């Protein structure tokens, strides 16, 4: 969302990311062999933003120098709030409405990377999956953040379903699977969000298999998914784009589909645009 809006405003963005585990391997489906070609998030961004330069690596300072040499005038850091080595003109921090505070403790006791008070240095807060929780829960979360982090504007975001895409190619509109019986699988940080989203567009979810975040799929995994689908006699096998980029098309998975989504502003558009314009002028 941010990258596309930077382009719309006339910028030439590049993306820098750390590149954690879960890369896709350049070999036959299910072999689990071959060199890593970048992690799952890299391939999702590459598929959705094919013309945007994206570098992965630990040293994002050096990567930043490289993309500037290649013509970028705006650098977007993926997961960069804790990367204190670089000065940022805009810190846009995202908070999951379904599981906002990761148990309320920092790693390893919880999922927080920093105490909540550290968010006080953010310039803009984005509450994601705002459409997947009850209005009263969203209102309570929003009010709490306003009291804790006074003066920081908020944006409520929602994941908009764009299309169902076959692993082997070809796509259908989101409503194409309405009423169809499906088995879902995913290896993402919040599988509940995927479950809620597919139910929200009318899919009849008969089962769901969850793997750890950034899971690397093996032949045994694909067989397990296929066997489960046959066992419960579903019409569709569905997953996320983040998972699909790690599954090369094969006889077993060719007809499986992933849901392509994009983030959109549900409320707070003025605050978002103001922050983005201020950031562009600062750059």
166 and 36 part of one domain: no
Which long-range contacts (C-beta less than 8 Å, at least 24 apart) are formed by 271-279? 271/124, 271/153, 271/154, 271/155, 272/124, 272/155, 274/153, 275/90, 275/92, 275/123, 275/124, 275/153, 276/2, 276/5, 276/6, 276/9, 276/90, 277/9, 278/90, 279/89, 279/90, 279/123
195 and 253 part of one domain: yes
Q: Which two tokens stand for residue 224?
A: 């397990």
Q: What is the pLDDT of residue 83?
A: 78
Domain stop point among 53, 79, 105: 79
Q: Is residue 184 part of a domain?
A: yes
249 and 274 part of one domain: no
Range of the domain at 98: 89-153+268-283
Q: Is residue 138 part of a domain?
A: yes
Check pLDDT > 50 for residue 101.
yes
Interval 22-71: pLDDT, tens? 444 333 333 333 334 578 888 898 899 999 999 988 888 999 999 999 99
Residues of the chain with pLDDT > 70, as a percent, come to 92
Check pLDDT > 60 for residue 9.
yes
Residues of the chain with pLDDT > 90, as a percent, come to 68
Q: What is the pLDDT of residue 105?
A: 75
Report the pLDDT averaged over residues 140-163: 95
The count of structural domains within the chain is 3
Interval 181-211: pLDDT, tens? 999 999 998 999 999 999 999 999 999 999 9
């Amino acid at each position: 969302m941010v990258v596309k809006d930077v382009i719309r405003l006339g910028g030439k963005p590049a993306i820098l990311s750390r590149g954690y585990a879960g890369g896709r391997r350049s070999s036959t489906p299910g072999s689990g062999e071959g060199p890593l070609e970048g992690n799952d998030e890299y391939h999702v961004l590459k598929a959705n933003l094919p013309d945007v330069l994206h570098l992965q690596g630990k040293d994002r300072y050096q990567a930043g120098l490289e993309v500037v040499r290649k013509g970028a005038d705006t650098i977007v850091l993926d997961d960069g709030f804790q990367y204190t080595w670089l000065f940022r003109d805009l810190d846009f921090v995202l908070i999951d409405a379904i599981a906002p505070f990761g148990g309320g403790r920092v790693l390893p006791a919880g999922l927080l990377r920093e105490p909540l008070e550290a968010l006080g240095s953010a310039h803009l807060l984005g509450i994601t999956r705002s459409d997947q929780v009850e209005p009263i829960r969203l209102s309570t979360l929003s009010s709490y953040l306003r009291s804790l982090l006074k003066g920081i504007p908020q944006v409520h975001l929602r994941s908009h379903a764009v299309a169902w895409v076959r692993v082997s190619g070809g796509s259908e509109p989101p409503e194409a699977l309405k009423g169809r019986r499906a088995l879902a699988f995913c290896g993402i940080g919040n599988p509940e969000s995927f479950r809620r989203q597919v139910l929200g567009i009318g899919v009849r979810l008969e089962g769901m298999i969850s793997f750890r975040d950034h899971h690397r799929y093996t032949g045994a995994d694909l067989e397990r998914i296929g066997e489960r689908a046959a066992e419960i006699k579903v019409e569709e096998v569905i997953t996320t784009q983040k998972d699909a980029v790690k599954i090369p098309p094969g006889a077993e998975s060719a007809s499986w589909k992933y849901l392509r989504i994009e983030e959109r502003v549900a409320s707070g558009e003025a605050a978002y645009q103001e922050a983005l314009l201020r950031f562009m002028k600062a750059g």
